[in-house]
């Protein structure tokens, strides 16, 4: 169900979530997120997540009508020409399509351990603050069938606007545990028989092809700038490197995630 409301004033109170998109803490406090772009908004409307409103040029209303009509909640579709919408949000948009959704109640670590099929495949991130890289990592997790994403207190939220956009809406499908004390969480995973493997380029340990990824495991990744924190490395079972040519220091975290997950799926006979 939906109703269309043409935008008359950019100062209207109901448009406040779109005016504050650069203040992520405001959205986080209200447990809302922004979906940006035609495909991401479409995937949000196709998902079971609650949707509050959409913001779009009038021509897009008919494109989304079947999805909007099929929603259980009443959604307001705010419409205006793209130039006016860009004045509202404060930046240039390619398609001018946005939506506000509600962040679901996130599971706990114990929830995802209990609900994931075996052998489980988790990804944990430490110190990853670049939203675009985080979004790409989430997209790789979805592509390779990761059962849950574990996000340390040191990392940004995958529900940031740029992360949601970078994930192409795949964050809507992946159980995510946030604000974790990662060393403590890794110890809990290991106590439950889940092997924790640090993706670490500067290690004297195993290379990726020798790592055992076919059983229950969690692949731990860090930021490009600082890598994985020492306390997190110490908590893991082992460190594993991707073999690379001389003169290449490391891969972008998004690329490294794809390589590790491809190898995990290969070892599990899923490719």
The pLDDT of residue 192 is: 97
Q: Are residues 245 and 142 in the same domain?
A: yes
Domain boundary, last residue among 39, 69, 102: 102
The pLDDT of residue 100 is: 96
The pLDDT of residue 175 is: 97
Q: Are residues 172 and 59 in the same domain?
A: no
Q: What angle do CA 268, 219, 158 make, to 5 degrees?
A: 115
Q: Are residues 77 and 121 in the same domain?
A: no
Q: Which range marks the domain in which residue 146 is found? A: 109-267
Give the dihedral of Cα atoms 194, 200, 206, 207; nearest 10 deg. Answer: 110
Q: Are residues 124 and 202 in the same domain?
A: yes
Q: What is the CATH number of the domain that holds 86?
A: 3.30.1330.30
Q: Are residues 72 and 161 in the same domain?
A: no
* pLDDT tens over the chain, length 271 residues: 999 999 999 899 999 999 887 677 888 889 999 999 999 999 999 999 999 999 999 999 999 999 999 999 999 999 999 888 888 888 777 778 999 999 999 999 999 999 999 999 999 999 999 999 999 999 999 999 999 999 999 999 999 999 999 999 999 999 999 999 999 999 999 999 999 999 987 666 678 888 999 999 999 999 877 889 999 999 999 999 888 777 677 788 999 999 999 999 999 987 6
Domain boundary, last residue among 58, 77, 102: 102
The pLDDT of residue 95 is: 79
Q: Are residues 98 and 114 in the same domain?
A: no
Interhelix angle 131-143/253-267, nearest 10 degrees: 10
Q: What is the CATH number of the domain that holds 235?
A: 3.40.1280.10
Q: Are residues 42 and 171 in the same domain?
A: no
The pLDDT of residue 259 is: 95
Q: Are residues 259 and 223 in the same domain?
A: yes
The pLDDT of residue 43 is: 97
Phi, psi (degrees; rounded to nearest 5) at 55 = -130, 120
Domain boundary, last residue among 102, 117, 145: 102
Domain tally, the chain? 2
Q: Are residues 113 and 198 in the same domain?
A: yes
0.85 surpassed by pTM = yes
């Amino acid at each position: 169900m939906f109703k269309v409301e043409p935008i008359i004033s950019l100062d209207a109170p109901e448009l406040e979530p779109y005016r504050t998109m650069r203040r992520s803490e405001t959205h986080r406090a209200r447990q809302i997120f922004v979906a940006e772009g035609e495909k991401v908004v479409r995937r949000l409307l196709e998902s079971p997540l609650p949707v509050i409103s959409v913001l779009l040029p009038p021509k897009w209303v008919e494109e989304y009508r079947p999805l909007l009509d099929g929603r259980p909640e009443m959604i307001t579709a705010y419409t205006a020409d793209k130039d006016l919408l860009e004045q509202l949000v404060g930046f240039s948009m390619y398609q001018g399509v946005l939506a506000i959704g509600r962040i679901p109640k996130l599971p706990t670590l114990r929830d995802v351990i209990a609900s994931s099929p075996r052998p489980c495949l988790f990804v944990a991130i430490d110190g990853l603050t670049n939203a675009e890289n985080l979004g790409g990592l989430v997209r790789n997790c979805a592509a390779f069938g990761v059962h849950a994403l574990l996000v340390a207190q040191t990392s940004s939220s995958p529900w940031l606007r740029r992360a949601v956009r970078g994930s192409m809406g795949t964050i809507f499908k992946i159980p995510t545990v946030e604000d974790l004390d990662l060393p403590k969480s890794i110890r809990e995973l290991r106590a439950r028989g889940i092997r924790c493997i640090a993706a670490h380029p500067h290690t004297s340990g195993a290379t990726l092809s020798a790592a055992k990824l076919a059983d229950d495991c969690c692949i731990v990744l860090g930021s490009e700038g600082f890598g994985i924190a020492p306390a997190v490395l110490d908590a893991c079972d082992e460190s594993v490197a991707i073999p690379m040519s001389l003169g290449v220091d490391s891969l972008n975290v998004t690329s490294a995630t794809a390589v590790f997950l491809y190898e995990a799926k290969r070892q599990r006979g899923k490719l």
